Chain A
């Protein structure tokens, strides 16, 4: 390993070859401001266009200033990060960005979470010397994401996510010069594009240019309507991240406080999507075993591998990009939709209310869930199974609006029956979790034996593509895992070309799975936060007394009283779905 010696602000520093000036500075506690630069270390994701020029530093002997984020440290380099020349350039650059940015911080959805605002504060910008025309574009509202690109600062993070990580290719820089902005081709609406609504653009946007559709007002109105019974479900990944919005350490589990907060907000029943996750495992697991058995019997019509289908962005992705493979994924609905379907049938019956008078709200780490709940096939007589889907961030806003001191809340328990869940349901929140939950159940159903171990460490981690072989009593079951749609694409291409040797594949659109969802508290480029959330999810799992979906007593009860058996006709009707070719 080659060693490089340099000085930064007169401090000597030794780094290995290939280190950038920015990284070298950070290693000795010098924090050069950045804006477009973003590195999610644990996920191998990096945005380094060198475009914003906020990180410029003075390098002795160099004609012009160097962008610290993409300048490699070289032997004997003398860097000054706060010379008057560097400070002046940096502040001027910042003023220029602000001169083309709406100054509506007070009412901006990103206020308090805005990298641009923070950076302006940090640099002590008190005046904008260069005023002039501001870019103005049409605001684009889709079912899940709002583009207010007057606020775009051309950091290109969203573009990198959409193209390199997700390979969806909707967002890219268009136009030239002052008019350049990141938008779908021909400035079409997201709605008309192949956008999956994964929300990773929203997750990384440093400003308020990309945000989720805000449904909190509608939820408040529903809660205040006495004629409605309002119930709530909350996705597994929410409990591992919500605390961050209230200043708690990343990875703090706040399940009990979350329940307490929802109850105080006025929900009539506080349920858990984890319950529906257990239900998903029953259906999807049964489907896997069914296909597997038929395959082993030599049925040529059976499609393997089976692909998970609980991620709505992933579903939309293959409907656009791999419509020829639409028979391959499991037909099981996502936990959110299974919950809505059961709530508005089974639970409404139990309560004796009409489905129109039952309002189902879901709390999701995801923005695509807003789109999913609006899909036509998830409505009965124009009444959707899920009425509103709000993100973790929106829930935090609701809690703040309602004057609830979150950190002081006691821990409370979910309501029964749809609030009871197992550890298998919890791990849906992270990459690898769905398939691990499926294995726990499928193994026992297939072999008729009890699992010798519950934790499948070989399925866990943050690698974008993972695979493992699980011994199903002599049958080696090959499992693939992908998170991030670009990784999914690679597996899908193998499936398309017949090269795939997997029996089952789990796919999550967001890097890290739902813990890294587009609706989660902003990570601001710190991937350690995602790692901590993942650890919290597994902690929650191991704290559970029941950790296999098929052992959930309320799931058993649901099948006994209502559904019959997995893949029964009623299950098919309520818990399964079909996919559409969206290239047409």
Chain B
């Protein structure tokens, strides 16, 4: 990695990474590209988030779903760990709680593939600094 040596540099890199992410989102297979984030803080991991994450990776690969699966920190819903946020292309992100293998399968089969909502999704109840 080359070092960032000025503010302008930093801003340029920010643009780059942002567009990289956007590009990823709006690529040719945009209808299919699904973004999945797994809450992997201590609370999540303690409740089995690692297993959930590897299952999601395996299963999306297995079913040939074009998905980007990343880890993230605590979403705050510790009572419902493991938590997984799924963003279907062109839709609002949806957070699911208590995602074990079975629920993960349900999410893939029903929400990601068919677009049906499933019971137990967690309503987002906060504002971000960007709003």
Q: Do chains A and B touch in the complex (CB under 8 A)?
A: no
